[in-house]
């Protein structure tokens, strides 16, 4: 049986289609599940606990929220806190108060080797600085530094907001629940999915 041929006026279009198919076949395949890198929460080292904290402002009710979550080296939640305070004058003051709150909370739980993570670069830099701080919240940071001496080791690290999602959620949740609200173990139901997401390697 003789193969049918294309009409002359369709040869050019057919050639363009086949050339395009050939060129696409030469390109390396794009991985189906390729996603851009993301900032996320990471497990602390063995024997350490990681304490994430955040603040949230509720200007309409003249209050601020504080969220804290403590996890061990396996990613298990060892403690969590949602609390409210009188609205500070600035965002940085709220973050400083949140930091002091988490350090006290970690001491109450008897933790020894702790990494404190917050998403305020200003506060983290000020705590780690050896220079004098003359801001409106310097006395709060002095408290933080003094309290931190009670741990076997205490490190203060800045993390981007995406890596601080659980503490952020707990801070915002404080607006609608009786405070202070403690969880001594287990996951607070409102953040369970976020905790599970953090634990995925």
Most confident option among 10-19, 169-178, 183-192 = 169-178
End-to-end CA distance of the chain: 60
What are the boundaries of each domain within the chain? 49-199
CB 50 within 8 A of CB 70: yes
> CA-CA distance, 157 to 177, in Å (whole number)?
29
Q: Which helix (H) or strand (E) holds 29?
A: none
CATH of domain 49-199: 3.30.420.10
d(CA 77, CA 101): 18
pLDDT tens-place string over residues 67-80: 998 988 888 888 88
Looking at residue 19, its pLDDT comes to 55
Q: Is a pLDDT exceeding 90 seen at residue 116?
A: yes
pLDDT at 23: 52
47-64 pLDDT, tens digit each? 899 999 999 999 999 999
Confidence of residue 188 (pLDDT cuts 50, 70, 90): low
Determine whether 71 is exposed, middle or buried from the number of CB atoms within 10 Å of its CB (0-12, 13-18, 19+): buried
Q: What is the DSSP letter of 195?
A: H
Q: How far is 188 from 42, CA to CA, in rounded Å?
A: 19
User: Rounded CA gap, 125 and 160, in Å?
Assistant: 14
Q: In this predicted structure, what is the pLDDT of residue 34? A: 33
Q: What share of the chain is helix, strand, coil (3-state, %, to 5)?
A: 40, 20, 35
């Amino acid at each position: 049986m003789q193969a049918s041929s294309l009409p002359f006026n369709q040869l050019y279009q057919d050639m363009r289609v086949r050339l395009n198919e050939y060129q696409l076949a030469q390109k390396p395949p794009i991985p189906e599940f390729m996603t851009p890198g993301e900032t996320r929460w990471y497990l602390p080292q063995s024997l350490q606990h990681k304490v994430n904290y955040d603040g949230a402002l509720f200007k309409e009710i003249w209050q601020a929220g504080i969220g804290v979550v403590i996890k061990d080296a396996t990613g298990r939640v060892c403690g969590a806190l949602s609390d409210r305070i009188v609205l500070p004058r600035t965002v940085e003051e709220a973050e400083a108060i949140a930091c002091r709150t988490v350090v006290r909370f970690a001491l109450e739980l008897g933790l020894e080797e702790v990494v404190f993570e917050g998403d305020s670069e200003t506060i983290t830099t000020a705590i780690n600085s050896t220079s004098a701080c003359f801001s409106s919240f310097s006395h709060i940071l002095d408290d933080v530094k003094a309290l931190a001496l009670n741990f076997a080791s205490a490190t203060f690290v800045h993390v981007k907001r995406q890596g601080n999602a659980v503490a952020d959620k707990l801070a915002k949740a404080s607006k609608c629940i009786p405070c202070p609200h403690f969880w001594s173990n287990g996951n607070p139901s409102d953040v369970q999915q976020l905790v599970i997401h953090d634990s995925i390697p």
